């Protein structure tokens, strides 16, 4: 599909992609370097503080030395990348590292070279950003000791730890709703209000995106996360395009259907996604087939959910006091026993759904999350609560989750991944979470903002019912009334990218 406008790229210095390449990516790369330095430092110390047996085994000390050496090599590569990025060098081909999409990334790079757009400040932003995370993955996967390392894991966990206040708030709301369940079920108008609250919670959960922390404070984020009816009402004016009524109407016609989630960020956002899928009065309306969730199989855009993050989120919710103790502005008090009980109940339920396969995940073998939806035999890899990412073990495996780390606009899903396409066509609603999914839905094209969403979807429009829940963190925006646009332009010049 050839859209009638070009994609966003950093040649426009007033756009967010320029700021991203010039300022935000260097910060992200530096954070990776720092993280590996820390790990290497800890490895150096280990023989001094470890238990005598493992500390002095020769084999172990060889392993540690080899890991430190590999760590240093990764640091060097990331440093070189940062240097080249700042000087607008040519983007190098992704090495054949045995992981998906190498050919596709590299052939796109060749096409860009023909148009002299294969450098950091000239390539289309969407392509370059996906390329960046895929290239970083190649640095790790080609090693022996850092193969499955997620350099963003510590950051994800750290920010999740600061979401305690909002998490407890949601657990309390869930608890209160349980007592109102009977009334809700018998009154469709109440059920609709409930649905809207859930969907908005899920929307604002997307405000917690760590790649944006380079210019958003934690206090800002906590404000966006805060829960409760008044907060929802106050934020209503920030919703620029709102199709909740249409979604509700659609869902009321679905019986025994399937709702799928293309996930975005780990931690708080994932919690709000799971919460929408929780056992609540909407169940009877929406689906009896498990929601199918698509994580990313490699560390992606800093905060995106990988299968281990998924498991870890549930594990953290089950032992919340060990995680949610650090405080930001308002969450400084330890949770009351009552709050803890509310959260435990919710977390137990989620854990049960995971173990019973009520939540299915599109990864090879299902990673112990119940029926994983994959087109191959299960692999032996297991997701744990460590910083390991889930990878496919056989080169031939094809997971329906692989597609989400290709640099492909969604109007090309059918061409690029026929199986996924067929699968999505069987869905009664596909919920695309977050900004990156929105950019891929619209191709990250410079559409005039009053272009209809349907037009911006290109050939994807009408293929299956879809809902995009996105807080704005990139320039592209469509489907807006000219009047709404004029008002917002006047109020907040930064509305396209500030996530608010």
206 binds, among Mg ion, ligand F6P, none (CB under 5 to 8 A by kind): ligand F6P
Q: State the maximum Cα–Cα separation within the chain, in Å, rounded to a whole number.
A: 71
Is position 265 an interface residue for Mg ion (rule: CB under 5 A)? yes
By C-beta, is 16 or 149 nearer to ligand F6P? 16
Q: Which residues bind ligand F6P (CB under 6 A)?
A: 16, 20, 129, 206, 209, 211-212, 264-265, 301, 303, 434-436, 439, 473-474
Q: Which residues are CB-neighbours of 250 under 8 A, at least 6 positions away? A: 429, 465
Least distance in angstroms from the C-beta of 480 to Mg ion: 22
By C-beta, is 133 or 194 nearer to ligand F6P? 133
**Whole-angstrom Cα distance, residue 391 to residue 300?**
13
Edge-first strand order for the sheet with 360-361 is 360-361, 287-294, 257-262, 429-433, 466-469
> Coil, strand or helix: which one is 167?
helix
Which residues, 276 to 305, sit near Mg ion by CB under 5 A? 301, 304
DSSP 391-458: --SSTT--BTTGGGGS---GGGHHHH-HHHHHHHHT-SEEEEEHHHHHHHHTTTB---TTS-HHHHTG
Least distance in angstroms from the C-beta of 150 to ligand F6P: 16
Least distance in angstroms from the C-beta of 4 to ligand F6P: 22
φ, ψ (nearest 5 deg) of residue 290: -55, 145
By C-beta, is 301 or 353 nearer to Mg ion? 301
**Whole-angstrom Cα distance, residue 274 to residue 441?**
23
By C-beta, is 70 or 312 nearer to ligand F6P? 312
State the number of binding residues for Mg ion (CB under 5 A): 4
Q: Are 293 and 360 in contact (CB under 8 A)?
A: yes
> Coil, strand or helix: which one is 261?
strand
DSSP 204-228: HGGG--GGGTTTS-HHHHHHHH--S
By C-beta, is 287 or 306 nearer to ligand F6P? 306
442 binds, among Mg ion, ligand F6P, none (CB under 5 to 8 A by kind): none
Query: Which residue among 99, 222, 264, 475 contacts Mg ion (CB under 5 A)?
Result: 264
212 binds, among Mg ion, ligand F6P, none (CB under 5 to 8 A by kind): ligand F6P
CA torsion 445-479-405-311 (nearest 10°) is 160
Least distance in angstroms from the C-beta of 209 to ligand F6P: 4
221 binds, among Mg ion, ligand F6P, none (CB under 5 to 8 A by kind): none
The 303-322 contact track toward Mg ion, x by CB under 5 A, reads: -x------------------
What residues make contact with Mg ion under the rule CB under 5 A?
A: 264-265, 301, 304
């Amino acid at each position: 599909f050839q859209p009638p406008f070009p994609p966003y790229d950093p040649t426009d210095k007033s756009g967010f992609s320029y700021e991203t390449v010039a300022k935000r990516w260097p910060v992200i790369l530096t954070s990776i370097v720092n993280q590996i330095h820390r790990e290497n430092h800890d490895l150096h110390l280990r023989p001094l503080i470890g238990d005598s047996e493992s500390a002095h085994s020769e084999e172990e000390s060889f392993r540690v030395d080899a890991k430190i050496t590999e760590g240093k090599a990764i640091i060097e590569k990331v440093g070189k990348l940062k240097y080249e990025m700042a000087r607008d060098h040519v983007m190098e081909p992704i090495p054949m590292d045995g992981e998906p999409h190498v050919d596709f990334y590299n052939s796109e790079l060749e096409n860009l070279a023909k148009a002299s757009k294969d450098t950091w400040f000239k390539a289309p932003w969407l392509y370059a950003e996906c390329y960046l995370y895929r290239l970083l993955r190649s640095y790790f996967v080609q090693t022996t000791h850092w193969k499955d390392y997620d350099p963003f894991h510590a950051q994800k966990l750290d920010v999740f730890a600061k979401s305690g206040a909002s998490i407890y708030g949601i657990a309390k709301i869930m608890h209160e709703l349980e007592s109102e369940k009977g009334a809700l079920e018998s009154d469709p108008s109440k059920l609709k209000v409930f649905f809207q609250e859930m969907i908005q919670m899920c929307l604002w959960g997307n405000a917690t995106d760590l790649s944006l922390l380079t210019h958003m404070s934690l206090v800002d984020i906590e404000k966006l996360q805060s829960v409760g009816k008044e907060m929802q009402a106050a934020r209503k004016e920030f919703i620029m395009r709102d199709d909740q009524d249409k979604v509700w109407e659609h869902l009321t016609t679905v019986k025994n259907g399937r709702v799928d989630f293309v996930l975005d960020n780990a931690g708080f956002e994932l919690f709000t996604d799971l919460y929408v899928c929780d056992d609540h009065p909407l169940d009877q309306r929406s689906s009896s087939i498990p929601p199918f969730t698509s994580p990313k199989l490699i560390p992606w855009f800093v905060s995106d959910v990988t299968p281990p993050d998924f498991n870890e989120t549930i594990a953290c919710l089950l032992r919340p006091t060990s995680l949610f103790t650090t405080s930001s502005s308002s969450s400084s008090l330890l949770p009351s026993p009552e709050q803890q009980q509310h959260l435990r109940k919710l977390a137990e339920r989620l854990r049960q759904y995971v173990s019973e396969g009520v939540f299915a995940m599109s990864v090879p073998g299902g990673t112990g999350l119940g029926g994983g939806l994959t087109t191959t035999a299960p692999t032996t890899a297991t997701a744990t609560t460590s910083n390991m990412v889930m990878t496919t073990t056989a080169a031939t495996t094809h997971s329906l989750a692989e597609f989400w780390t290709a640099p492909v606009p969604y109007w090309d899903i059918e061409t690029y991944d026929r199986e996924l396409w067929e699968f999505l066509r069987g869905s009664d609603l596909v919920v695309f979470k977050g900004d990156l999914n929105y950019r891929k839905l619209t191709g990250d094209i410079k559409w005039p903002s009053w272009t209809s969403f349907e037009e911006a979807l290109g050939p994807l429009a009408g293929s299956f019912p879809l809902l995009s829940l996105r807080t704005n963190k990139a320039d592209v925006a469509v489907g807006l009334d000219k009047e709404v646009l004029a008002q917002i332009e006047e109020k907040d010049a930064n509305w396209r990218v500030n996530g608010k």
